[in-house]
Chain A
């Protein structure tokens, strides 16, 4: 499981997710594969004023009314020089907001140098917020895991285990018991700056499951909106495995929680044996409930052990 170096292609800004910004490309249509690698956008005001060092490659540059108003105060030669410099920098894309018309010289240079210049009808504040949010979502370290993710009582549970151990069947059981599917088979997990791991389903697979003997089913169509979720914070990893004779399974639950590393972030982990006659979905539901208790500071196994120890101490026959 390794983190991938992420980037967003400029063309993705023109996709459905940001359709509310009503953006279109005025130049650089052949360079829409330019890579945005930084989640924070910049406003190139200082660069237009002649100070260039802080224009970082890989960042979206947003031009609004204030930049245009400032450029109007420059004399034409100076303005051209600034345009010449800034379009020669390694900027993946400029976005001009509020449907404002770019300076003809700037547009000409962008076209000549094939620098994408997008025009949005939305206000600068909206453009900045929407693009930042979009980029933060798409530029976090991510990994794809094989498993099923379910939201059980608000606990994000990732079920992993060998193919054929029955992950999808258990997930279906949990859905019929009122829990929600996040992703089946392939789960994309992203690590946010807060340290939270969040699981997603991949676009085309979203809300679908594959069941042997039935094929591909659409969970949302079959069970309704409440049966699916777009994303969920990951709280607990449960590995299902066939019961192995001789293997030691936790009988007490007294020990410290085990952890599974995902994107260098530890996530509580439980190994759950599966065998004929064990209702695994109910066990998983209980594991989720118990996890909630532990997070709230109630540790059932430890409380039980403590009471027993007190009793044994009272009854002890000193030797």
Chain B
């Protein structure tokens, strides 16, 4: 299992379209992918779970990946956050 802090850095935060991108990406891996915020653990493959977090810009989240392709999943999702969901220019 890999677990590390990541930051929501895009301007709009984890809004609906960003969440959809994340769910789609997480869904492409076999591993279990979870996000943790203030004790709330949500499945990153569930869109409503992510939207429930209401994570605005600047929020620190814990990303947790566990499974056969956990490293690939972790890298890809970290990359998506770092790239600000391809939103901010």
The interface of chain A, by Cβ under 8 A from chain B, is: 246, 248, 251-252, 254, 301, 304-305, 308-309, 311-319
Contact = CB atoms under 8 A, between A and B. Distances in A.
A308 B55 CA distance: 10
B56 A317 contact: yes
B43 to A, nearest CB: 14
A319 B16 contact: no
A315 B54 contact: yes
Given A246-B28, A312-B56, A319-B9, 8 more contacts: A251-B47, A252-B20, A304-B16, A309-B15, A312-B54, A313-B56, A317-B59, A319-B58
Contacts of A313: 12-13, 56
Contacts of A316: 11, 13, 56-58
B14 interface: yes
A251 B12 CA distance: 19
B17 to A, nearest CB: 7
A311 B59 contact: no
A318 to B, nearest CB: 7
Contacts of A246: 28
Contacts of A315: 13, 54, 56, 59
A289 B56 CA distance: 32
A317 B57 CA distance: 6
Interface centre among B16, B17, B47, by most chain A C-beta atoms within 10 angstroms, is B16
Contact of A319 (B17, B23, B55, B57): B57
A300 to B, nearest CB: 12
Contacts of B12: 309, 312-313
B54 A317 contact: no
Given A251-B24, A251-B47, A312-B12, A318 B58 contact: yes
A198 B66 CA distance: 53
Given A309-B12, A315-B13, A317-B57, A251 B51 contact: no
Interface in B34-84: 47, 51, 54-59
A21 B12 CA distance: 69
Given A251-B20, A251-B24, A308 B58 contact: no
A235 B19 CA distance: 31
A305 B56 contact: no
A317 B14 CA distance: 13
Contacts of A305: 15-17
B65 to A, nearest CB: 20
A219 to B, nearest CB: 38
A67 to B, nearest CB: 69
A254 B13 contact: no
